[in-house]
Amino acid sequence: MLDDRKLAVLRAIVEDYVSTNEPVGSKSLAERHNLGVSPATIRNDMAVLEEEGYIAQPHTSAGRIPTDKGYRLFVDRLSTIKPLSPAERRAIETFLAGAYDLDDVVGRTVRLLAQLTRQVAVVQYPSLTRSSVRHVELVQVASHRLLMVLITNTGRVEQRVVETHSAVSEETIAHLRALLNTCLDGCGLVDAPNAVVDLPEKVSSDDRWVAAAVVSVLLETLVEKHDEKIVFAGAANLAAVDFSQSLRNVLEALEEQVVLMRLLGETGDSSTLTVRIGTENPHEGLRSTSVVAVGYGVGDQALAKLGVLGPTRMDYPGTMGAVRAVARYVGQILAGS
C-alpha cells in the first residue's frame, strides 16, 4: 500500500511544511529533496497519500499539508528523536544547577524548556503520592495557633496552620511531634493517612483534642492532591505562529489547571515519551495543537510529567529531543537534592 518512496514523500512533505509553513507542491518537493523521480510521479504518490488520509490540500490546486494522521505516521515511523547539541546540554546543566528550591527547580525548568523549544512548556510539580515523609514539624506560632510543616523526600515542603482553641503546652507539642515522626518516618504518603488516623487514641485524654486537630489538618494536606499544581511558560511563543482565531482558546486552556492536568495526565504511561497530535487532544480548544510529554523523576519511578505544547505543525524530532533531555536533567537534580 505505502511503499518506501511514498513514505519518503510523506516525510519530505512534513519536513518542508514544518519549515516553510506553506502547502508544499510536487515541483518544489522534487527540487529540494533528491527523491530521484519526477514531479509527476510524486503527484501520483501524493494522490495515494491523500486518499489514505495522510495529507490534504487546503483547497483545490494548492500544495498539500500533512493531516493529523500524517503527523502521527511521521512521528511513529519516519522520524528519529534529535539529540541536543553539546552547547544546549551545557546550557541546560548550568541553568538548572543554580536552583536551591523545589519552586525554583520547577520554575527554571519550565522557562528553560520554553526557551529551548520556542514553544509553550508545561511542568507538573512532583507528585506527593509517590514520595514519602521525611519529617513532620510542629511549631507554636501564637498562643492558639500551631504551624504544621510536612517535608517529603522530594524536597517538597507543605505547611498548614492549626487553630487550637486554647493554649497548648510545650511538652504536649514535643510529645505529639515525636509521635507523629515515629508513626510517619519514611512512610509513603499514600499510606500516611492510615498510619496517623488512630493516633489521637494513643495520647492522654487531655491532649487528645489537640492531636485530633493536628491529625485532621494533616489528613487534609495529604488528601488535597497538591501534585495537581502545574505551571507553564512561553505563551509569547504562541503569538509567533498563526493561530488565527483559536489563540484565545489556547490561552484560556493553558490557564485552566484542570485542562493542563488532563493534558499531561492522560498521556499514557509515564517514563515513555508520548506525543498527542491535534484532534487526539482531549480539550476542545487545543484541536490545532500537539503535546509532547514525558514523565520525570528520581531513578526509574516517575514523579510527575513535563512537556511542550505547540502547533501541530511543529518540529517533532527536535521537540522530542529537548523534552527528553530536560526531563533527564531534572530527574538528576531532584535525585541530588
Stretch binding DNA (CB under 7 A), from 40-48, 88-96, 272-280, 281-289: 40-48
Alpha-carbon gap, residue 105 to 174, rounded angstroms: 33
Q: How far apart are CA 10 and CA 277, in angstroms?
A: 16
Site track 247-286 with DNA (rule: CB under 7 A), x = hit: ----------------------------------------
Helix (H, G, I), strand (E, B) or coil at 299: coil
Binding mask 139-178 for a copy of itself (x = CB under 8 A): xxxx----x-x-x-----x-xxx-----------------
Question: Does position 137 bind a copy of itself by CB under 8 A?
Answer: yes
- For a copy of itself, how many residues bind (rule: CB under 8 A)? 30
Q: Which residues of 102-131 are buried (b: 16+ CB within 10 A; e: fewer)?
A: beebbebbbbbbbbbbbbbbbbbbbbbebb
Q: How far is the CB of 180 from a copy of itself (least distance, A)?
A: 12
What radius of gyration do the chain's Cα atoms show? 26
Task: State the Cα torsion 241-243-248-251 to the nearest 10°.
Answer: -50
Nearer to a copy of itself (CB atom), residue 65 or residue 218: 218
Q: How far is the CB of 57 from DNA (least distance, A)?
A: 6
Choosing from 240, 266, 284, 301, the residue that interacts with a copy of itself (CB under 8 A) is 240
Near DNA by CB under 7 A: residue from 9, 18, 26, 321: 26
Pick from a copy of itself, DNA, none: which does 159 bind, CB < 5 to 8 A by kind? a copy of itself
Enter the DSSP assignment of 81.
P
- C-beta of 204: minimal distance to a copy of itself in Å? 23
**Is there binding between residue 44 and DNA (CB under 7 A)?**
yes
85: left (phi over 0), alpha (psi -120 to 50) or beta: beta
Contacts of 5 (CB under 8 A, 6+ apart): 35, 37, 45
Enter the C-alpha cell of residue 291: 503535546
Asked if residue 43 binds DNA (CB under 7 A), the reply is yes
Our CB check for a copy of itself shows the closer of 40 and 258 to be 258
- Tell me the one-letter amino acid at 335: A
**According to DSSP H, which parts of the chain are helical?**
4-20, 26-32, 39-51, 68-73, 86-97, 102-117, 170-184, 192-196, 208-223, 236-240, 247-254, 257-265, 316-336
Q: Which residue in the set 46, 133, 304, 333 belongs to the binding site for DNA (CB under 7 A)? A: 46
Q: Give residues in contact with DNA (CB under 7 A).
A: 5, 23-28, 36-41, 43-44, 46-47, 50, 57, 59-64
Q: Give residues in contact with a copy of itself (CB under 8 A).
A: 100-101, 111, 134-135, 137, 139-142, 147, 149, 151, 157, 159-161, 233-236, 238-240, 247-248, 251-252, 254-255
